Amino acid sequence: MNSFDYTGKTALITGASSGIGRDFARQLANRGVSLILIARSEKKLQALATELVKTHGVSIAIIVQDLVEPDAISNITERLEKLRRYPDILINCAGFATYGSFEKLSIDRQRDEINVNCLAPVELTHAILPGMLKKGSGVIINVASTAALQPDPYMAIYGATKAFLLSFSSALWAEYRSQGIRILALCPGATDTAFFDVVNAEEASVGKRMPADKVVTLALRAVDANRSYLITGCGNWLLGQLHRFVTRKRLLLIVEKILRPRSP
């Protein structure tokens, strides 16, 4: 196993103010990686930056940006040019879900979901990958989900966006694996973050929640192994294999029953 060398590296992390993104920031700072942290909440970013500078003494820049905005990625790339910071590691962690009957959910909110979960990672990857290729080294981690492994009734757009990320990441891994670029689609199951508070539906949480720091530890091990994707946890991996043993129709009926709303 050829471990990735983090010495002197800079990582850009979206969704860095909480959950998995925050734990990526903490574990990379512990390895001496300089950080560019992106999220909507300036207060949370400042608090995290203060913590990491005090604990690890690393260089940190913050960019307050809502990825829903049409000019979000151009704003980020312009800021990177002004800072003269060129990421060696890109972690596309920002994302959110909508839950409920498709026709009852706001189409504007679902459009935002597609933009944040799909378009923003694609545009950031397209902007940052050329610099990695020039160096002959880089890491891209796209945070997908076990929701990517099958269609998800009542979370139709979320599951579709995560399936997109899994396919996109795997294709790029095959394209660039021989050019020094490591690309990982991270597929965690239920994780102990504020995600389900935002979704506001406990039935969307399937199985025991894994601590976010453990998800990140497993992801960085997968990067060292140059894996193309990772499903975290044995239980989640087993659930991801159901399609091998039942028909697609049966699988959809099982998932629909699991995710079906339990209250009005």
Which domains can be identified in the chain, with CATH numbers?
Answer: 10-259 (3.40.50.720)
pLDDT given for residue 201 in this prediction: 54
Cα(142)–Cα(225) distance, integer angstroms: 16
The whole-number pLDDT of residue 262 equals 79
pLDDT of residue 143: 97
Smallest CA-to-CA distance from 18 within 45, 42, 36 is with 45
Burial class (CB in 10 A: 0-12, 13-18, 19+), 208: exposed
Task: Give the type of residue at 204.
Answer: A
Please tell me which residue in 99, 154, 158, 229 is annotated as part of the active site.
158
* 158 in catalytic set: yes
Give the pLDDT confidence score for residue 205 in this predicted structure.
56
| Helix runs in 115-194, H state only | 120-135, 156-176
Amino acid at 119: L
CB distance 35 to 13 below 8 Å? yes
Contacts of 41 (CB under 8 A, 6+ apart): 17, 64
Distance separating alpha carbons of residues 72 and 235, to the nearest angstrom: 37
DSSP string, 95-136: -----S-GGGS-HHHHHHHHIIIIIHHHHHHHHHHHHHHHHT
Distance CA 39, CA 19 (A): 12
Picking from 145, 132, 220, 242, the residue whose alpha carbon sits closest to that of residue 177 is 132
What's the pLDDT at 160?
97
The candidate with the shortest Cα–Cα distance to 168, out of 125, 133, 129, is: 125
CA separation for the pair 83, 77 (Å, rounded): 10
Q: Can you give the pLDDT at residue 204?
A: 57
Read off the pLDDT of residues 193-217 as tens digits, 9 standing for 90 and up.
Answer: 655 555 555 555 566 778 999 999 9
pTM of the model: 0.91
pLDDT of residue 193: 60
Q: Is 230 helix (H, G, I), strand (E, B) or coil?
A: strand
- The predicted pLDDT at position 200 comes to 56
The tens digit of pLDDT for each residue in 127-138 reads 999 999 999 999
Q: What pLDDT does residue 242 have? A: 74
Low-confidence ranges of the chain (pLDDT < 70): 1, 192-207, 263-264
Distance CA 94, CA 59 (A): 22
